[in-house]
Structure 1
Amino acid sequence: MNAVIIDQTKVRIDPEVKVKRGRTFPRPLAWWHRYVPIWLDASEDDQGRLVLTPNGRVADGHVQELTPALIRRDVRQALAWLDSRIYFDFSDAVVRDDQLW
């Protein structure tokens, strides 16, 4: 797995949070570009799902070459980052490898 794929229609927002109109999911790609960390690129696939891929950027502005091991590490960190979102539940939204086919 070299990317995290998210079906935005399955993202849940904490029911205790009052959500303004138009702030539900799916969110536009421009929102994701502002929301994801610097070391991830956000794009959409042909089915409209969000794809988060590691890009090798680090906070000091350098770009490192991504090896398969670094890609796997960054994908694991992306999943951990999604899991740490307090008011968003991505548990059902992340598409796993066995769900792709």
Structure 2
Amino acid sequence: MVIEIAHFRLAPGKAAAFFEAMVTAAQFLRTAEGYRGHVVGRGVEAPDTASLIVAWRSHADHVDGFEPSEGHDRFLAALEGLYEGEIGVAHIEAGDAAPACIAAGSSE
């Protein structure tokens, strides 16, 4: 299992709208091949940021399957104008089990 960690810098005054839009955007994650769950939240030390953590079956499911897909385009379109700059993305190898916060159920 691979965990994707995506960092967003929220547009000023758009935090509530970002999290509302994430509910819609997440439907495109859920239908992706290899999707295992996700959690999203606002930065504690930096409340102008948000992080999306997604569990994928494999790195390829994310970068070769989801990223070039229409679902990914629709995911980004749902969040358009609600964050600034580039989305910072990193992947970590998680072995066979998703973290409990993801395995217990996805949240927006």
Instruction: Say yes or no: TM over 0.5.
Output: no
Question: TM-score normalized by structure 1?
Answer: 0.41
Q: Which has the larger strand fraction?
A: 2
The structure showing larger relative contact order (alpha-carbon pairs under 8 Å, at least 6 residues apart) is: 2
